[in-house]
Structure 1
Amino acid sequence: DIDALFEAFEDDYQGHYDSEEDFAYQIIKDCYDLSDFVKSYFDYESFARDLFMGDYTYESGYVFRNS
């Protein structure tokens, strides 16, 4: 069913990002209200690594949530 396939794509597609770290930065910005001080110490590289170990896939700039 093409409609179900399209709906699954829409649910899993997270957007286009320059890097995994850029996606991690966006997650923090959208989901958490951190002070600038805390943001300056946050390890976005490690957070991105953890996100892409299982929850997300990064392919040619596109990010998808793993089902």
Structure 2
Amino acid sequence: MSKTLAEVIKRIDEIAVKLEQDNDSLEESIKHFEEGVTLTREAQALLSTAEQRVATLIKQELSTDTID
């Protein structure tokens, strides 16, 4: 199941809080950091897809306006 942008951002925030608390071992902190990097890439992909969809919609709207 793919995650929503809100879910990804929420998890990134949770990881950031966990890392700031500094209660974990170095190994656990590295695992959290790696997860954060992966989630950041997921968020970037989701945003890129949304940006492309918006650009397509705008282009279609502009084409429709030109025809009318």
**What is the TM-score when the length of structure 2 is the normalising length?**
0.24
Write 1 or 2 for the structure with the bigger share of strand. 1
Q: Which has the higher contact order (CA 8 A, sep 6+)?
A: 1
- Larger Rg, first or second structure (1 or 2): 2
